[in-house]
Amino acid sequence: MSRLITSVCLMLAIAAYSVFAAFVIKDENDELDSIIKEITAYTQKNDVEKASEAADKLNKKWNKFERKMSVFVRDDKLNTISTSVSRVKPYLEEANDELDAELRNISRQLDLLYRMELPTWYNIL
C-alpha cells in the first residue's frame, strides 16, 4: 500500500511540476512577446533610439528567461532562440531588412517552445 501511495504522490508531483512550468513559460513568453512588439512598433516609426533601448531590454529579459528556463527546457531549444535574440541589436544598428523576419522568428520560436512544453496527451507520448 505504501508503494502505491508513493507512486501516486510522485505522479502528482510530476503533473504539478509540468503545469507550473507551463504557466512560468507562458508568463515569460508573454513578456518577451510584448518587448518584441514594442521593437516592431518603434522600427515602423523609424525611432531607432527607442528600438535600440527595447532591444537591450529584450536581451536582458532573455538572459534572465534563459537561466530560469534551463531548469524546465532542453538547451538546444533555448540555443536557437538565443541566436535569434543576439541578432536583433546588430540588425537594428545596420538598418537591416532581416530585422522584422528575425523578430517574427523569435515570436514563433517562443510560441513553439511553449506548445512543446505544454503537458498535453500528445507531448507525453
pLDDT value at residue 35: 93
Q: What is the pTM of this model?
A: 0.81
Q: What is the pLDDT of residues 79-92, one digit of tens each?
A: 888 898 999 888 88
Report residue 33 as a C-alpha cell: 512577446
- How far, in Å, CA of 68 to CA of 28, rounded? 10
Percent of the chain with pLDDT over 90: 30
3-class SS of residue 25: helix
Q: What is the pLDDT of residues 66-113, one digit of tens each?
A: 888 887 777 777 888 889 899 988 888 887 778 888 999 999 999 988
- How far, in Å, CA of 67 to CA of 63, rounded? 6
